Structure 1
Amino acid sequence: MRRILVATVVPLVLATVVATLLLWPWNASEPAGGSDVPRYHGTVTRVVSEPCPPAPEGAPGTGAPGVCGTVGVRVEDGPAAGQQVEAPIPDGPGAPTVTVGDEIILVELTDPADPSASSWNIAEHQRGKPLMWLAVVFAAAIVAFGRWRGVAALAGLAASFAILLSFVLPGISAGRPPLLVAVVGAALIMFVVLYLTHGVTAQTSVAVLGTLGSLVLTGVLGTIATAATHLTGFGSEDATTLSMFQADVDLHGLLLAGIIIGSLGVLDDVTVTQAATVTELAHANPGLSRLQLYRAATRVGRAHIASTVNTIVLAYAGASLPLLLLLTADSRGAAQILTSEFLAQEIVRSAVATLGLIAAVPLTTALAALVTTAGRGGAADRDATPTAPTHPAPTARPEPDRAEALEALSAGRHGRALDPDPPLAAHPGRPEPDRRTDSAW
């Protein structure tokens, strides 16, 4: 069975590597630079607020009083490092609220008519240090709980971001087919992350095959669903803005690519869990047949799917919360809102991801049951239906000796240590408590 796994997984890995090399954006152009406004770090030293002057009659406005005044800022880097500059207090929707001691981002604006005249404005707060400390706490918690496997999980996370930033996103920007790039990129992430995190074992290979099969099914279902609902990919403001900057990007393919990438994170969770469940059940009760293993692990998978489906829907709803709030203020009927492209796109995402997730449970469980029971021999593998267990005939219990019982009960009084119970591993038929159940190739 392990030879069959090697003969199946290795060609898939090689095909993924070859497809990655063929789709790699070798001639991708670098983003044009030089047009951005220079940004510098600064620290707020004082804030002076004052009443805003009254607006002229007839001038358009919101009616809400504005915030006026100046902010003194010490520039930390750039040509003006160490200097004190003044900037107006930020005002308007989404403007940052600054106080003394805040670390902010400054922009220097130059007057096109007079290059020697410039003004300073506050763009936003610096978020580098809080994000860095959050990342440190995040990594420390994972390593403290997962130990070496937590370190491997962090390495897998870094590999996922590296593949997304170096292959998937540049490949789509370079004009490659988004769906094909997403499938190849997802397969590459899956191979690297699963084997790096869980080790090169037969159990991991089962999870890999289950994840890959479910990804292919998700891609097929996504293609059919988006074609049936006539989705164009212009279902969000971000997609519309992207089409203005890169008119050659296939937004319909980009929608399918997003479904594939978004499904991968949930799929590998389910497939790894199902493969581990089958392995643990087989070691806990070696007498279970393949059908019994499949049925028992599938019951665990049903409970997992029931909670994960809600997770998928809530994840998409949370990411689209501003859009949902905007739709609630719409004066159209509920049927028109649900069938609009904005909301239909999210419905298709959730439904397709859920269908692929449901298919992953029986596929991975069947593969895991087949691999776990391979080479066992005996009737346990050949029986397709559960059979009643046979127990040895009970032996007659000997009559207790009163003198021996009294001697055993009084042993502690005379300082003799009683024999402790044998450890768990000493009982026949029980596995060792700390034994790894996933065997290496």
Structure 2
Amino acid sequence: MGGAHSHSHSHDLPDVEVGLVSRFFLLTALALVALATIIGLFVLWPGDGEKPTPPQYAADGTTFPVGKVVSVSEPCPVIVADPNAPPGSGEDFPEHCNELTAQVGKDRVVIQVPPYVAKSGLQKGDEVKLARIAGVDGAEPSWGWVGTQRNAPLGLLLVAFVLVTLVVARLRGLMALVGLVFAGFVVAKFMLPGLLEGGSGIGIALVGSSVIMFVVLYLTHGLSVRTSTALAGTLFGIAIITAIGMWGVHAARLSGVSDDTNEYLMLYAPDLNYQGLLTSAVIIAGLGVLNDVTITQSSAVWELRAAAPEMTRLQLFISGMRIGRDHIASTIYTIVFAYAGTALAVLMLLSLYERPLLDTLPDENIAAEIMRTLASAIGLVLAVPATTAIAALTVNGPRKVVTGQ
């Protein structure tokens, strides 16, 4: 038995024997995927393609100074016109509603703001960003609304998130934060520029996702066979999500242009493959939950093998799936409620119209989100038995426990 197995070490997990043959096949498969990923990075790395012409954000001579709020007027009331009322009988808006007064250097400016800004709770002394549009031929400049300065509360939340993560998760949390920064780098420097250049949305999403998962999993959870089994299960889930996403986009005849943001992007980049972009969004959306369930399943099998070395691989799989089913149920809730939270305004509008659920399916923004959610959920569910099976096959087989004489 001495040459038939090795040991897997990972942080505070138990020392578990790993079969050499199963480890060889697992690591060889991952090495081939890593090689394909590296080749994909070289082939798809942005730089040679033609990017869309960026829109002009503001007119020449426009500056964006920061001012301090002096006062905010009451929001204008929402007045619904009566179609049967005679002309001229409608209710007038009160004077000076939706007005914001701000001090910008030595200038005190009064501008009209959207109603939701007047209702947002701005107070005297709050910082806001305005647009100062230079006047033509010596005319006085005009002013416009840009947004509220939110750097302080957002920065405070970021610092709190980092501190809480480091205090509770310690070194593992630090590695997770480093992995998160790396994932952001891949998205910003590889995926977004590559997609804007018209590269294959599916190819870029697959390569980018693989790079992120390889680095994040090994960085956060350590170089071990246990992490490798989780990575293999994650890649399997990504493949399932990709296949279902491709089928779903074409079967539902989704265009990939489902809201105002996509329509605005299409004005400046009409030649992009928006169906491919939607499929790539489906792939990226499933990464977080996949990472969660696969590392949990791999760890569960490791713990089970350490606690019960006499269990057969089939028994390991069955026991691991008992844990996995609970995790599947809770994670599916996470996926669905995450969508419900981000789409709450849309769901409220549909409820206001009192439209039956089936009547909303022709709406592309609803159909796209349903397809994205279901594709991620199916990939998640199938990744659990796949990871559990890989882990059960990777650890060493059952052995008899020698009790004391």
Q: What is the TM-score with the length of structure 2 in the denominator?
A: 0.83
Q: CA deviation at 1:109?
A: 1.5
2:156 alignment partner, one of 123, 133, 148: 133
Q: CA deviation at 1:26?
A: 1.4
1:201 alignment partner, one of 191, 216, 224: 224
Q: Deviations over 1:235-289 (max 9, x none)?
A: 2222222211210121111111111000111111010000000001111121211
Q: Is the 8 A contact 1:338 1:344 kept in 2?
A: yes
Q: CA deviation at 1:346?
A: 1.7
Please state whether the residue corresponding to 2:286 is helix, strand or coil: helix
Paired letter, 1:71: T
Distance 2:341 2:277 in 1: 20
Q: Is the 8 A contact 2:67 2:129 kept in 1?
A: yes
Q: Is the 8 A contact 2:311 2:398 kept in 1?
A: no
Distance 1:39 1:62, change over 3 A: farther
Distance 2:327 2:335 in 1: 12
1:101 alignment partner, one of 105, 109, 125: 125
Partner of 1:43: 68
Q: CA deviation at 1:65?
A: 3.0
Whose relative contact order is higher, 1 or 2, with alpha carbons under 8 Å and at least 6 apart? 2
Q: Is the 8 A contact 1:67 1:89 kept in 2?
A: no
Distance 1:48 1:165, change over 3 A: closer
Answering whether residue 179 of structure 2 is matched by residue 149 of structure 1, we say no
* Structure 2: 5+ residue stretches without partners: 1-19, 77-85
Partner of 1:386: none
Q: Deviations over 1:139-183 (max 9, x none)?
A: 000000111111000001101111111111111101001111111
Distance 1:332 1:161, change over 3 A: same
Distance 2:131 2:168 in 1: 43
Answering whether residue 396 of structure 2 is matched by residue 367 of structure 1, we say no
Please state whether the residue corresponding to 1:42 is helix, strand or coil: strand
Q: CA deviation at 1:123?
A: 2.5
Distance 2:182 2:210 in 1: 13
Paired letter, 2:25: I
Distance 1:198 1:229, change over 3 A: same
Q: Is the 8 A contact 1:70 1:86 kept in 2?
A: no
Q: Is the 8 A contact 2:234 2:291 kept in 1?
A: yes
Distance 1:148 1:87, change over 3 A: same
Q: Deviations over 1:168-204 (max 9, x none)?
A: 1111101001111111111111111101111110001
Distance 1:290 1:370 in 2: 7
Tell me how many residue pairs correspond in the alignment: 368
Distance 1:49 1:224 in 2: 52
Q: CA deviation at 1:318?
A: 1.8
Please state whether the residue corresponding to 1:175 is helix, strand or coil: coil
Of 91-100 and 231-240, more deviation after overlay is shown by 91-100
* Structure 1: 5+ residue stretches without partners: 76-82, 381-388, 394-441
- CA radius of gyration, larger in: 1
Partner of 1:278: 301
Distance 2:198 2:362 in 1: 30
Partner of 1:11: 32
Q: Deviations over 1:385-431 (max 9, x none)?
A: xxxx99899xxxxxxxxxxxxxxxxxxxxxxxxxxxxxxxxxxxxxx
Partner of 1:410: none
Please state whether the residue corresponding to 1:257 is helix, strand or coil: helix
Q: Is the 8 A contact 2:176 2:220 kept in 1?
A: yes
Of 289-298 and 20-29, more deviation after overlay is shown by 20-29
Distance 2:273 2:215 in 1: 28
Please, what is the CA RMSD of the aligned residues? 2.8
Please state whether the residue corresponding to 2:361 is helix, strand or coil: helix
Partner of 2:317: 294
